[in-house]
Amino acid sequence: MKNSIDFQTGLLENYLEKTVRKASDMRGFFQDEKALEEMISQGDPTIYEVYAVPNNGEGEISYAVTVIHPGKVGKEFFMTKGHYHEIRNRGELYIGIRGKGLILMQKWAEMKIENIERGNIVYVPPCWAHRSVNVGSEDLVFLAIYPGDAGHDYGSIAEKGFAKIVVEEDGGYKIIDNPKYHE
C-alpha cells in the first residue's frame, strides 16, 4: 500500500490501526496513583496515541507513529506503557519527528537512555524493553519501525516497571530510581 508521512507534523496518511491510551488505561504505570485517579475523574485525558501500519509475520516490517501529549501525573511525565517484544530477539528503530523526549531501554540490570528529538535515530537492540517519555511542553512524535512478528509483551513491565522514572524538577526533568522497582 502506498503511504506517506508529513515530517513536520508526523501525520501518517494511511494508517490501519489507531490505539488511544487514556489516563484510565494507565492504571499501575505511574507512581502517583491518587494524581492519576483525580485526572481520570476530571475528564480522563488521552496520554498518547499510536497510528500503526502492521504487516504481521516473519520477515515483514511494521511501522507506527506515536504521539505522546505533554503533561504529568504528579511529578512524572506522560509516557508509554513500555514493553518487551513478544519474540524477544527483535530490534526496532525509532526516528524522532517533533517534540522532546527520552527513550528508556532496559535489559536485565542494564539500563540505557537516549534522546528522542527531531531527526534522531534510536536503535533499540533485540531483547531490550523500551518506554518513551515526553519531557517537553509540546507533543512528542516519533516513527517506530519494527519486525512484523515482534509482538508486544506488556506483562512484565506492567508488573515491575522500569528501574528508572522521569520526573519534573525546576522546569526540567531528572531521572531517578523507581522506588517501586524490584528485579
- For cell 508486544, the residue is 152
Q: Are 123 and 91 in contact (CB under 8 A)?
A: yes
Closer CB to ligand PAN, 82 or 99, in the complex: 82
Size of the site for ligand PAN (CB under 6 A): 14
| By the rule CB under 6 A, 152 interacts with ligand PAN | yes
What, of Zn ion, ligand PAN, none, does residue 164 touch, CB below 5 to 8 Å by kind?
none
Closer CB to ligand PAN, 98 or 130, in the complex: 130
Q: Are 180 and 161 in contact (CB under 8 A)?
A: yes
How are the residues of the chain apportioned to helix, strand and coil, as percentages rounded to the nearest 5? 10, 50, 45
Q: Per CB under 5 A, which region of 2-10, 92-100, 115-123, 158-166 contacts Zn ion?
A: 92-100
Find residue 58's DSSP bridge partners.
none
* Residue 38-77 contact track with Zn ion, rule CB under 5 A, x = bound: ----------------------------------------
The C-alpha cell that represents 23 in the structure block = 489516563
